[in-house]
Amino acid sequence: MPVPFNDMTRKYLRYADEIDSVAKRVLSSGRYTLGSENDSLEAELASYYNATAVATVGSGTDALFLTLIALGVGVGDEVITVANTCTPTIAAIRLTGANPVFVDVDSERLTMNPEDIERCVTEKTKVILPVHLYGTPANMEKIIVVAKKHGLLVIEDCAQSFGATIAGRHVGLWGDVGCVSFYPTKNLGGFGDGGAVFSDNQALVEKVRQLRMYGEIHRYESITEGTNSRMDELQAGFVRWGLLHIDEWNKTRSDIAQTYIKSIHNALVQLPVDLDTESHRAWHLFVVRVSDRTAFTRHLEENCIGYAIHYPKLVYDQPAYEFLRVDSEHLPVSTSSVGTVVSLPLYPELTEEEVYKVIEAVNSYGK
Ligand SMILES: Cc1ncc(COP(=O)(O)O)c(C=O)c1O
């Protein structure tokens, strides 16, 4: 039997009774957007993060976009970020009219390299936006030092890192604000789209709440120009239910990752590196690096192992963002790593037998 890279039906089938009862509760409530499920989810997320306030929104992209707008980022401003991220990080910045400025990533974590930030700071820079890619915390201790030195805001893209911590504190609370996604494949995924903004800055979260609902302070009274980015009640209900399981799911992800690390022995395959003891990954993805990706993925296919590439190109190498391209010599690690990354199956419903099939296939590569 093939090992699928991911299979969302397994989660539903495993918990069908619980999920169906959430759906029934919400559908029979008569309230389908921004109601009591969203209110409760905001309170429960705030308590989980130990954050002052949370605003739910329509997606992780909107969490970033509305946060940037709420912080006053607009046309001509510069936002320092990374090029090896998922497209929506860059889409959210561009939708405000601001320009992303790319710094390199560190060769071990593949997250923002704090040493490269100052090279890119100009008088137009407003924000530093690190991405906790694959669930790996970026080096926030150093990033916030640079941000403070230059008076810059820090927005953390936590779409892939629900549950990741540094020194016991959740990522997203190291900077000014954290943005998460509840896209189905995420660690805390719903069964549709959703996102949230969390922060100790209550006023900022209030502003996002206005922006997500036509800029209204109360019904039919817009005090700012907003949009519609309401999270629906069904998704809020599903994510509330997921919050009851998230620690157990993240633990299973971590156990599978540790089994891969202990059991994969192949000099042609580079495993994710150990972090300092203070940082804990959320293990959203298990990403290995290989020099001949075509040969490696062919081998996985021959052994019926699903895989994915996160991501095949740096964002500025995609047609829509070519105008942002920078000279590759400025981003040596981003440029050299992008052709080497391969994500192996990693989700809580993976069976032990499947985990060992993946290990066997990876170990036999090149032999
Ligand atoms: C790093 C990163 N940022 C932002 C997003 C956007 O989230 P969403 O798909 O919920 O809009 C994603 C999700 O795919 C992501 O992986």
Give pairs for 296-299: CB < 8 Å, separation 24+. Answer: 296/268, 296/269, 296/342, 296/365, 297/342, 299/361, 299/364, 299/365, 299/366
Q: pLDDT grade, residue 68 (50/70/90)? A: very high
Q: Which of 47-51, 275-279, 308-312 has the lowest mean pLDDT?
A: 275-279
Which pLDDT value is given to residue 274?
A: 86
Cα-to-chain-centroid distance, residue 123: 29
Other beta carbons within 10 Å of 21: 13
What are the residues whose beta carbons fall under 8 Å from the beta carbon of 292, sequence distance 6 or more? 268
pLDDT score of 276: 85
Q: Tell me the pLDDT of the chain averaged across its residues.
A: 97
As a whole number, mean pLDDT of residues 302-318 equals 98
- Following CA atoms 11, 13, 16, 20 in sequence, which dihedral angle do they give, to the nearest 10 degrees? 80
Q: Which residue is listed with tokens 């991911």?
A: 6
How many Å lie between the centroid of ligand 1 and the Cα of residue 88? 6
In this structure, the residue with its CA closest to atom 7 of ligand 1 is 60
Tell how strand 216-218 and strand 221-222 pair up: antiparallel
The arithmetic mean of pLDDT across residues 271-293, rounded, is 95
This prediction's pTM: 0.98
> 66 is written with which tokens?
């509305």
For 296-305, the pLDDT digits (tens) are 999 999 999 9
Nearest atom (ligand 1) to Cα of 195: 10
Q: Note the pLDDT tens digit of each residue in 125-153.
A: 999 999 999 999 999 999 999 999 999 99
Q: How many CB atoms lie within 10 A of CB 132?
A: 27
- Determine the average pLDDT of the residues in 159-169: 97
Q: φ, ψ for residue 287 (rounded to 5)?
A: -110, 120
Instruction: Give the pLDDT confidence score for residue 277 in this predicted structure.
Output: 86
**Whose Cα sits closest to atom 14 in ligand 1?**
86
Which residue from 28, 2, 74, 90 is spatially nearest to 302, judged by alpha carbons?
2
- The arithmetic mean of pLDDT across residues 192-199, rounded, is 98
Give distance in angstroms: CA of 195 to centre of ligand 1.
9
Predicted pLDDT of residue 151? 98
Radius of gyration of the chain (CA): 20
Buried b / exposed e along 228-237 (16+ C-beta atoms within 10 A): ebbbbbbbbb
Torsions phi, psi for 84 (to 5 deg):
-95, 20
Q: What is the mean pLDDT of residues 328-337?
A: 97
| Per-residue confidence (pLDDT) for residue 8, from 0 to 100 | 95
For the chain, list the domains and their CATH numbers.
8-103+110-240 (3.40.640.10), 246-363 (3.90.1150.10)
Identify the three-state secondary structure at position 80: strand
Q: Is 353 left (phi over 0), alpha (psi -120 to 50) or beta?
A: alpha
Query: For 319-340, what is the mean pLDDT?
Result: 97
Query: Is residue 259 predicted with pLDDT exceeding 90?
Result: yes
- Closest-lying ligand 1 atom to the alpha carbon of residue 62: 11
CA 132 to ligand 1: nearest atom: 1
Identify the residues whose C-beta falls under 6 Å from ligand 1.
59-61, 85-86, 88-89, 131, 157, 159-160, 181, 183, 193, 195
Mutate to test the pocket of ligand 1, among 93, 160, 180, 238 (most ligand atoms within 8 A of CB): 160
Give 61 Cα–ligand 1 centroid separation in angstroms.
Answer: 6
CA angle 312, 313, 318 (to 5 degrees): 125
Closest ligand 1 atom to residue 131 Cα is 1
Tell me the CA–centroid distance for residue 302 and ligand 1, in Å: 31
Residue-wise pLDDT for 233-256, tens only, equals: 999 999 999 999 999 999 999 999
Place of tokens 């052994």: 303
Q: How confident is the model at residue 346 (pLDDT cuts 50, 70, 90)?
A: very high
Distance from residue 133's CA to the centre of ligand 1 (Å): 10
Strands (E), 182-303: 195-199, 216-218, 221-222, 279-280, 286-289
Pocket test for ligand 1, best of 84, 183, 235 (most atoms within 8 A of CB): 183
**Proportion of the chain above pLDDT 70, given as a percent:** 100
Q: Which is higher by pLDDT, 367 or 183?
A: 183
